[in-house]
Amino acid sequence: MALQDILIPDIGDAENVEVIEVLVAVGDEVQVDEGLIVVESDKASMEVPSPGAGRVESIEVGLGDRVQEGQLIVRLEAPDAKQAQVVPEPAAHDRAPPEAAPLALPTDEPAPDVERSAPVVVDRFEVRVPDIGDAEAVEVIEVAVVAGDTVAVDDLLVVVESDKASMEIPSPVAGRVIEVPIATGDGVSDGTLLVVVETEGHTVERDSDAPKTLAAVPPVDAEARPGSDQVAPPPEVPEAPEAAGSEALATRAKGAAVYAGPAVRRLARELGVDLAHVNASGTQGRVLKDDVQAFVKKRLTEAGTDSDVPGGIPRLPEIDFSRFGDVQTHALSRIRARGAANLQRSWLNVPHVTQHDEADVTELETFRRSLTSEGEARSVKLTLLAFIMRSVLHTLKEFPTFNASLADHARAMVIKQYYHLGFAVDTDEGLVVPVVRNADQLGVFELAARIADLSEKARDGKLTIEDLSGGSFSVSSLGRIGGTGFTPIVNAPEVAILGISRVATRPRWNGESFAPRSMLPLSLSYDHRAINGAEAGRFMVRLCQLLEDIRHVLL
Ligand code: CAO
């Protein structure tokens, strides 16, 4: 077991850089290439990785410290260490000192024999993947522009990443993006075309001091600059120390959309966090690991720990019921499965209230029966439902907010001038709600005929999309089946639904005595955001009035 000193490597021409992130703590076990700290100069940041595996014995720098090449960062207790001090080899110094130059060249201008500081007139810049050390292929992890965007010098264009490092590639020119031939997830390598920027013939000043601002933009040899329709040879960029596993550079340009190092980006990706939504607490708005963790923690707290349903509703556990006895499992029909999803969405989104009442339909039933032979002559069975729907339509015209939908996130109400009445039909495949279009224009016989026709189509599975869409109010009748009341679920985006239960003969006080009457239970569920309780009460009273004396429908 030996102590190994990890020193600040050569960081190019940045002499005094700031420690902006410490990625390890004393006692941590680190692997080869695992990030130790992140340092940053004016324009670029670099993650310094561990050249060996071991346990962090001490950390010799702190957040905000200014450090320079050769300074001790971390003491590592390394079982296999063969040397006491490790200074990652500054590969860039083995070559000519890096000069700054644009990553892109004009493609339709002859290449000038340039002085670095000479103005260059350009029309079209091709921005390509620079030399990224010994990483041969990298992945595009962020594309910050689309064709048509206007960009300023140093605006972020693309972020690429290898196993260990990410590099933000800024625009070397101001102009308009005219082509983005790559997408997130694409594998790219040295020289791959990333973005084409059109500068409309602007003069671009290349200041000889500019190089530093283009730390992510590799230098190019002016002698080797190719012709107008070609690209600069992949320029040099200071490489990460070989001992550190090479491509450890993480650079960014001013104006980058998200400012975070590779370790943080990796963490965010693993956790499915969009860094654009994370509050940054690091220097100069840098997103830190702690920020990502705090973001996730907050989201989990908001949503409840066992939640993956929008709104933080805990999901019911999947249970293996065969543990308790024999079971048979059948897949739900398509209609039933889709209906279940619609019902849940409506139930979760709509604040429901159900108003119950009952209508005395004794006279109505007498009247309906009196029409039996006329119905037979027309080949129509005149059902109670047809009268109820006729009365509902009359009531809807008097209470337009029931024939409506909410819009603009419940800040507006759409009052419909049409009356397309839906009615629930129970079929072998599940519940469907066909719609009688322009039902207000139909008489009771016509309504009864449409109900019979659509019910048959529903049970034969022959309803069309047209038959099922555009409803403005629904009724659901369980009259034939039974029950004294229920709470129907509003068929959103409609705002109300009328549930009908079974007519029963009950004693009713007529002012002098109790008399047997045919009472029809009605249950009106409504969206309380659209309709208040008093309105619903008045709606029901009026509906009952009409059902008790259907002649009022004529008035
Ligand atoms: N009270 C007592 N009897 C009633 C009644 C009521 N409210 N409504 C209908 N009936 C009787 C009728 O008098 C008729 O009896 P006769 O044949 O003796 O005259 C019979 O029930 C007719 O029933 P129906 O179902 O054939 O016709 P309908 O017009 O009443 O209803 C339809 C048509 C399609 C709405 C219905 O068949 C249906 O599918 N209902 C189920 C709807 C449903 O599932 N809703 C739940 C939604 S929430 O999950």
Alpha helices in 212-333 (DSSP H): 262-271, 289-303
Q: Residue 488 CA: which ligand 1 atom is closest?
A: 48
Q: Tens digit of pLDDT for each residue in 263-278?
A: 788 788 888 888 888 9
Q: Which of 158, 182, 214 is the last residue of a domain?
A: 214
Helices (H) and strands (E) in the chain, counts: 9, 34
State the first-to-last Cα distance of the chain, in angstroms, to the nearest integer.
Answer: 100
Give the span between the Cα atoms of 487 and 66, in whole angstroms. Answer: 69
CATH of the domain at 169: 2.40.50.100
Q: How many C-beta atoms surround the C-beta of residue 554 within 10 A?
A: 6
Do 413 and 514 sit in the same domain of this protein? Answer: yes
Q: Residue 520 CA: which ligand 1 atom is closest?
A: 7
Do 86 and 142 sit in the same domain of this protein? Answer: no
Whether 129 has a pLDDT exceeding 50, the answer reads yes
Least confident range from 229-233, 389-393, 395-399: namely 229-233
Q: Tens digit of pLDDT for each residue in 148-186?
A: 888 888 788 888 877 666 777 888 888 899 999 998 888
> What distance in angstroms lies between residue 481's CA and the mean position of ligand 1's atoms?
7
Angle ∠(484,486,488) on CA atoms, nearest 5: 145
CATH of the domain at 546: 3.30.559.10
Whether 146 has a pLDDT exceeding 60, the answer reads yes
> What distance in angstroms lies between residue 368's CA and the mean position of ligand 1's atoms?
15
Q: Which two tokens stand for residue 391?
A: 């009365």
CB 43 within 8 A of CB 212: yes
Q: How many C-beta atoms surround the C-beta of residue 42 within 10 A?
A: 12
* Per-residue confidence (pLDDT) for residue 106, from 0 to 100: 33
Is residue 436 lining ligand 1, measured as CB closer than 6 Å? no
Nearest-CA neighbor of 422 among 446, 457, 454?
454
In terms of Cβ atoms closer than 10 Å to its own Cβ (0-12, 13-18, 19+), residue 329 is exposed
Q: For residue 230, is it within any domain?
A: no
What is the percentage of the chain residues whose pLDDT exceeds 90?
43
* Per-residue confidence (pLDDT) for residue 88, from 0 to 100: 44
> What distance in angstroms lies between residue 277's CA and the mean position of ligand 1's atoms?
53
Pocket test for ligand 1, best of 360, 383, 494 (most atoms within 8 A of CB): 383
Do 372 and 512 sit in the same domain of this protein? Answer: yes
Is residue 425 lining ligand 1, measured as CB closer than 6 Å? yes
Q: What's the chain's length in residues?
A: 555
Q: Residue 424 CA: which ligand 1 atom is closest?
A: 42
Helix (H, G, I), strand (E, B) or coil at 527: strand
Q: Which residue has the tokens 């990410």?
A: 166
Q: Which two tokens stand for residue 344?
A: 């849940």
Do 424 and 523 sit in the same domain of this protein? Answer: yes
Do 87 and 128 sit in the same domain of this protein? Answer: no
What is the percentage of the chain residues whose pLDDT exceeds 70?
76
In terms of Cβ atoms closer than 10 Å to its own Cβ (0-12, 13-18, 19+), residue 454 is buried
Is residue 416 lining ligand 1, measured as CB closer than 6 Å? no
Give the span between the Cα atoms of 300 and 302, in whole angstroms. Answer: 5
Whether 451 has a pLDDT exceeding 90, the answer reads yes
> In terms of C-beta distances under 8 Å and separation of at least 24 residues, what long-range contacts does 330-337 make, across chains too?
332/430, 333/429, 333/430, 334/429, 335/427, 335/429, 335/430, 335/431, 335/432, 336/429, 336/430, 336/431
Q: Tens digit of pLDDT for each residue in 197-245?
A: 888 654 444 333 332 222 333 322 222 223 323 223 333 333 333 322 2
Contacts of 464 (CB under 8 A, 6+ apart): none
Nearest-CA neighbor of 536 among 491, 496, 493?
496
Asked if 420 is an active-site residue, the reply is: no
Is residue 479 lining ligand 1, measured as CB closer than 6 Å? yes
In the chain, the amino acid numbered 4 is Q
> What distance in angstroms lies between residue 380's CA and the mean position of ligand 1's atoms?
15
Give the span between the Cα atoms of 445 and 389, in whole angstroms. Answer: 11
Give the span between the Cα atoms of 471 and 463, in whole angstroms. Answer: 14
Q: Which of 69, 101, 133 is the last residue of a domain?
A: 101
Whether 295 has a pLDDT exceeding 60, the answer reads yes
Protein residue with its CA nearest to atom 7 in ligand 1: 479
Q: Which two tokens stand for residue 304?
A: 């409840």
Compute the average pLDDT of residues 341-357. Answer: 95
Q: For residue 63, is it within any domain?
A: yes
Is residue 171 lining ligand 1, measured as CB closer than 6 Å? no
Do 440 and 396 sit in the same domain of this protein? Answer: yes
Q: Which two tokens stand for residue 492?
A: 């959103």
Pocket test for ligand 1, best of 477, 498, 522 (most atoms within 8 A of CB): 477
Alpha helices in 10-62 (DSSP H): none
Is residue 387 lining ligand 1, measured as CB closer than 6 Å? no
* Per-residue confidence (pLDDT) for residue 525, from 0 to 100: 98
> What distance in angstroms lies between residue 280's CA and the mean position of ligand 1's atoms?
62
Whether 262 has a pLDDT exceeding 80, the answer reads no
Question: Which of the four pLDDT bands, split at 50, 70 and 90, describes residue 121?
Answer: very low
Residues 144-180 as b/e (b if ≥16 CB within 10 A, e otherwise) read bbeeebebebbbbbbbbbbebbbbbbbbbbbbebeeb
Protein residue with its CA nearest to atom 22 in ligand 1: 480
Do 276 and 177 sit in the same domain of this protein? Answer: no
Least confident range from 138-147, 253-262, 455-464: namely 253-262
Do 523 and 426 sit in the same domain of this protein? Answer: yes
Is residue 502 lining ligand 1, measured as CB closer than 6 Å? yes
Question: Which of the four pLDDT bands, split at 50, 70 and 90, describes residue 442?
Answer: very high
CATH of the domain at 269: 4.10.320.10
> What distance in angstroms lies between residue 501's CA and the mean position of ligand 1's atoms?
9
Which of 93, 352, 528, 552 is catalytic? The answer is 528
Do 444 and 512 sit in the same domain of this protein? Answer: yes
Give the span between the Cα atoms of 156 and 225, in whole angstroms. Answer: 24
Q: Tens digit of pLDDT for each residue in 78-88?
A: 776 554 555 54
Q: Tens digit of pLDDT for each residue in 51-110?
A: 888 899 999 998 888 888 888 998 988 776 554 555 544 333 332 333 332 233 333 333
Do 91 and 181 sit in the same domain of this protein? Answer: no
> What distance in angstroms lies between residue 460's CA and the mean position of ligand 1's atoms?
17
Report how far apart, in Å, the C-alpha atoms of 386 and of each of 371, 392, 414, 445, 519 are. Answer: 13, 10, 27, 8, 17
Task: Provide the domain limits for residue 92.
Answer: 2-101
Compute the average pLDDT of residues 294-308. Answer: 70
Structurally, the chain folds into a number of domains equal to 4
Do 471 and 526 sit in the same domain of this protein? Answer: yes
